[in-house]
Amino acid sequence: MDPRRARYLEAMGVTRWVSRHAPSAVPDPEPVVAEMDLQQLRQTVAVCRRCPLHESRTQAVFGVGSPSADWMIIGEAPGAEEDRLGEPFVGRAGQLLDAMLKALGQSRETVYIANVLKCRPPNNRDPRPEEAEKCAPYLERQITLVRPRIILALGRVAAQRLLETDSPLGRMRGRVFHYGEDRTPVIVTYHPAYLLRRPGEKGKVWLDLLLAARIVEGKSH
């Protein structure tokens, strides 16, 4: 109430009733992720506060690559270098991924690369289910907008999240799964960081990449 009006009412002996309960603030409506384009989605992710990970991030790591890519590469979560630079798959694991893509005749510019989580978990721990759940609409929208012909899930966490399963990665390799209403083919393989520790597994990854390439070329289903 205007202070002058309050004084007038007091001088006239009019009792002014005040509610004991202050009206609660109405939160701003949450943006409708399903209606966003990639630029709007990037801007929303940059200021996202859906889970506590925003408190420790340097910056959100949205995604990189061609918005009309045939190949979509999905990993787990940003690491320290990704958090610092704002781009997925940099550092040694990123260099190995670049080499994998080059062997397929692809590059960081021709594919689309994203992660299940957009913010780095502390100490690079595995994403918690509730964190992945909060980030899920962002990844789902990225997939919808890019509309890839193949999704390559790198590592157990990405594969289990995309396919909503708890199967171990070894049982998912060599098979063709499908994601979403468009039934986008999904191929599961090892994460480049794992290959840095177990280089002997690179042969298996190459077989997975060849399977994915055959699907893109229409030679496998």
CA dihedral sign of residues 100, 102, 106, 108: positive
- Cα separation, 209 vs 221, in Å, equals 14
pTM for the model stands at 0.83
- Cα separation, 108 vs 99, in Å, equals 10
Element (H, E) at 194: helix 192-197
> What amino acid occupies position 174?
G
- Cα separation, 109 vs 173, in Å, equals 26
Question: What integer pLDDT is reported at residue 10 of this predicted model?
Answer: 56
Written as six digits, the tokens of 92 are: 């040694």
Backbone angles phi and psi of 20, in degrees to 5: -70, -20
Written as six digits, the tokens of 176 are: 């063709």
Written as six digits, the tokens of 138 are: 């962002």
Contact 147, 182 (CB under 8 A): yes
Question: What integer pLDDT is reported at residue 219 of this predicted model?
Answer: 64
The per-residue pLDDT string of the chain (221 residues; one tens digit each, 9 = 90 and over) reads 555 555 544 554 544 444 444 444 444 445 689 999 999 999 999 999 999 999 999 999 999 999 999 999 999 999 999 999 999 999 899 999 999 999 999 999 999 999 999 999 998 898 999 999 999 999 999 999 999 999 999 999 999 999 999 999 999 999 999 999 999 999 999 999 999 999 999 999 999 999 999 999 986 55
Question: What integer pLDDT is reported at residue 30 of this predicted model?
Answer: 58
SS3 214: helix
What domains sit in the chain, N to C, each tagged with a CATH number?
35-216 (3.40.470.10)
Judging by DSSP bridges, how do beta strands 64-65 and 112-115 pair with one another?
A: antiparallel
Question: What integer pLDDT is reported at residue 14 of this predicted model?
Answer: 46
- Cα separation, 184 vs 77, in Å, equals 22
Residues in the chain: 221
Long-range contacts: 49-56, Cβ < 8 Å, 24+?
50/134, 50/135, 51/119, 51/130, 51/131, 51/134, 51/135, 53/117, 53/119, 53/120, 53/121, 53/131, 54/119, 56/119, 56/120, 56/122
Question: What integer pLDDT is reported at residue 19 of this predicted model?
Answer: 41
